[in-house]
Amino acid sequence: MKSSPSQRNSIPIEPVFERLLNLHEAAALLEMHWKTLEGMARKGTVPAFRIGGRWRFRASLLNAWLEKRLVAPRSGEVQWNQPAALRDAGEKE
């Protein structure tokens, strides 16, 4: 059985494993209290999963979650990039 040229020249790729953050590490990364983050994880607001009964987070998923929130905030939420003075005056940037 012959192998194709791409199979002969390919180098085996090792899967990249991203280190998981625990609740306190993820909260420190997001600069919030760990109890707040725990509540958000329980509600499914933030990307998280449980391993052995403990919350775990991927920094890359938290970053993607933040990026999504910055681009499309929920109605009634303040955009982080809008200065408070303009927001309070009801003006747009």
CATH classification of the domain holding 31 = 1.10.10
Q: Which residues of the chain have pLDDT under 70?
A: 1-9, 72-93
Residue 3 is predicted with a pLDDT of 53
Residue 83 is predicted with a pLDDT of 47
Residue 22 is predicted with a pLDDT of 97
Measured distance CA(48)–CA(55) in Å, rounded = 7
What residues have CB less than 8 Å from 64, skipping those under 6 apart?
47
Residue 30 is predicted with a pLDDT of 95
Measured distance CA(58)–CA(51) in Å, rounded = 13
pTM for the whole structure: 0.61
Tell me, yes or no, whether 77 lies in a domain: no
Question: In total, how many domains does the chain have?
Answer: 1
Residue 16 is predicted with a pLDDT of 83
- Domain containing 29 equals 18-72
